[in-house]
């Protein structure tokens, strides 16, 4: 089974490559990634000499780059490549539209021309917008994205649907909730809070901190994707979630408790504009039809993730220095400036 994994040097893509090479002896993986600030080949150091693994640097929005890769007899494309951070999309949405929308169109079109058997578009629960105190998103929930990131992912989902309907392509869209685990870039809530706590830096909690996310360990997400790759029905959308809703403040307090740090490190800061109050996913279809179930309880996964960041100080220091650090600081300075003017 030859797979083209786009965005394989990022957080979920690299976890998926580790997973699939371990679980499937017949898997051959081409990791196609242009290595933005979020792409890191260190995530794949352990598999880099595996003969079943190849890395190709390329941009999903560039037709020539994509066509070169698809010439190599790929059976399935799994599109993880994206700009993924909501805060960045609020500061400048152009890269989000280019990669997430145009890039998906380029990949779909090239896959159509090369007659790729299966195309999986890795999407997000954020396309559904925000929930009140009750209810869960189902696959039938209307799309109501609130951030430029979510809007770009929703646009890509609609292109995926259109390619399936118009060209009878075997396209599947997956919509997962918030992931956490090893190799996540420390701009997202959990790794940011872990690293700040380890260094006794303030932990910036947006607004009242009572925003809720349904946290799923990245390994459970990877297992769900493997299941969908092998048994998913063409043309379907699958929600992926683990029914482990937690308020942000609760998560941040748990991190501080595990690390035996003071709650005084918590600093309430200005809220994210159009901040989605709550996400919750109904993943019954995936559970009932394909028999997938999440396996990792949040408290256990969080403790393991904290241990991973503590024991991978080289990875952390490479990610937190040089160009990464520059990028990160620039983004937070700009965020503060932009929010002042909103």
Asked if 104 is part of the footprint of ligand NAD (rule: CB under 6 A), the reply reads no
CA distances from 74 to 78, 117, 120 (A): 11, 8, 13
Residue 53 or 279 with smaller CB distance to ligand DAU: 279
* Chain residue whose CB lies nearest ligand DAU: 124
Residue 59 or 126 with smaller CB distance to ligand DAU: 126
Interface with ligand NAD: number of residues (CB under 6 A): 30
CA distance 89 to 250: 26
Among 65, 126, 136, 187, the active-site one is: 126
In 3D, which of 31, 123, 37, 46 has the Cα closest to residue 77? 31
For residue 50, indicate whether it is catalytic: no
81 binds, among ligand NAD, ligand DAU, none (CB under 5 to 8 A by kind): ligand NAD
Task: Tell me which H or E stretch contains 267.
Answer: strand 266-269
Asked if 183 is part of the footprint of ligand DAU (rule: CB under 6 A), the reply reads no
How many CA atoms lie less than 13 Å away from 223 in the CB half-sphere?
Answer: 16
Residue 28 or 177 with smaller CB distance to ligand NAD: 177
Contact 190, 255 (CB under 8 A): yes
Angle, vertex CA 190, rays to CA 189 and CA 191, nearest 5:
100
In 3D, which of 222, 190, 216, 223 has the Cα closest to residue 305? 190
Residues of span 135-174 touching ligand NAD by CB under 6 A: 153
Q: Among 126, 157, 220, 245, which residue interacts with ligand DAU (rule: CB under 6 A)?
A: 126
Q: Among 10, 148, 181, 241, which residue interacts with ligand NAD (rule: CB under 6 A)?
A: 10
Asked if 181 is part of the footprint of ligand NAD (rule: CB under 6 A), the reply reads no
**How does DSSP classify residue 144?**
-
Closest contact distance (angstroms) between CB of 240 and ligand NAD is 8
CB-based contacts of 151, cutoff 8 Å, min separation 6:
145
Secondary-structure percent of the chain, ordered helix, strand, coil, rounded to 5: 50, 20, 35
9 binds, among ligand DAU, ligand NAD, none (CB under 5 to 8 A by kind): ligand NAD
Asked if 6 is part of the footprint of ligand NAD (rule: CB under 6 A), the reply reads yes
315 binds, among ligand NAD, ligand DAU, none (CB under 5 to 8 A by kind): none
Asked if 283 is part of the footprint of ligand NAD (rule: CB under 6 A), the reply reads no
Asked if 242 is part of the footprint of ligand NAD (rule: CB under 6 A), the reply reads no
CB-based contacts of 100, cutoff 8 Å, min separation 6:
82, 83, 149, 152, 153, 155, 156
Q: Name the 3-class secondary structure at 124.
A: strand
Asked if 146 is part of the footprint of ligand DAU (rule: CB under 6 A), the reply reads no
Reading across the β-sheet that carries 178-180, which strands appear in turn?
178-180, 212-217, 245-247
Q: What are phi and psi of 283, to 5 degrees?
A: -105, 25
171 binds, among ligand DAU, ligand NAD, none (CB under 5 to 8 A by kind): none
Residues of span 236-265 touching ligand DAU by CB under 6 A: 248
For residue 149, indicate whether it is catalytic: yes
Closest contact distance (angstroms) between CB of 200 and ligand NAD is 26
Asked if 88 is part of the footprint of ligand DAU (rule: CB under 6 A), the reply reads no
How many CA atoms lie less than 13 Å away from 105 in the CB half-sphere?
Answer: 10
70 binds, among ligand DAU, ligand NAD, none (CB under 5 to 8 A by kind): none
Contact 72, 30 (CB under 8 A): yes
Residue 10 or 182 with smaller CB distance to ligand NAD: 10
CB-based contacts of 104, cutoff 8 Å, min separation 6:
60, 79, 121, 156, 159, 160
Asked if 176 is part of the footprint of ligand NAD (rule: CB under 6 A), the reply reads yes
Q: Among 16, 80, 279, 298, which residue interacts with ligand DAU (rule: CB under 6 A)?
A: 279
Across-strand partners of 123? 175
Q: Which residues are catalytic?
A: 125-126, 149
Q: Where does this chain bind ligand DAU (CB under 6 A)?
A: 84-86, 124-126, 177-178, 188-189, 192, 204-206, 211, 213, 248, 272, 279
């Amino acid at each position: 089974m030859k797979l083209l994994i786009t965005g394989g040097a990022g957080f979920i893509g690299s976890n998926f490559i580790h997973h699939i090479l371990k679980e499937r002896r017949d898997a051959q993986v081409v990791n196609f990634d242009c290595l933005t600030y979020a792409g890191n080949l260190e995530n794949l150091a352990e598999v880099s000499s595996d003969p079943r693994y190849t890395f190709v640097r390329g941009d999903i929005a560039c037709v020539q780059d994509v066509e070169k890769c698809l010439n190599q007899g790929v059976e399935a494309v799994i599109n993880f490549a994206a700009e993924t951070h909501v805060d960045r999309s609020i500061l400048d949405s152009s890269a989000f539209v280019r990669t997430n929308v145009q890039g998906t169109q380029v990949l779909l079109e090239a896959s159509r021309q090369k007659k790729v058997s299966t195309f999986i578009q890795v999407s997000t629960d954020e396309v559904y917008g925000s929930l009140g105190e009750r209810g869960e998103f189902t696959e039938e929930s209307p799309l109501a994205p609130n951030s430029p990131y979510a809007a770009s992912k929703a646009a890509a989902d609609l292109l995926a649907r259109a390619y399936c309907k118009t060209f009878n392509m075997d396209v599947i869209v997956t919509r997962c909730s918030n992931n956490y685990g090893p190799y996540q870039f420390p701009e997202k809530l959990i790794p940011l809070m872990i690293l700040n706590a380890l260094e006794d830096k303030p932990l910036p909690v947006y607004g009242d901190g009572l925003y809720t996310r349904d946290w799923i360990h990245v390994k459970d997400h990877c297992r769900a994707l493997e299941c969908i790759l092998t048994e998913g029905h063409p043309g379907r959308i699958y929600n992926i979630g683990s029914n482990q809703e937690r308020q942000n403040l609760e998560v941040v307090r748990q991190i501080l408790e595990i690390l035996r740090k003071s709650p005084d490190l918590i600093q309430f800061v200005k809220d994210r504009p159009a901040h989605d109050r709550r996400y919750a996913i109904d993943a019954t279809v995936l559970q009932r039809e394909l028999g997938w179930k999440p396996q990792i309880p949040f408290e256990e996964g969080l403790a393991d993730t904290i241990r991973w960041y503590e024991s991978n100080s080289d990875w952390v220091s490479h990610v937190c220095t040089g160009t990464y650090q520059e990028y990160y600081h620039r983004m937070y300075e700009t965020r503060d400036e932009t929010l002042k003017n909103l």
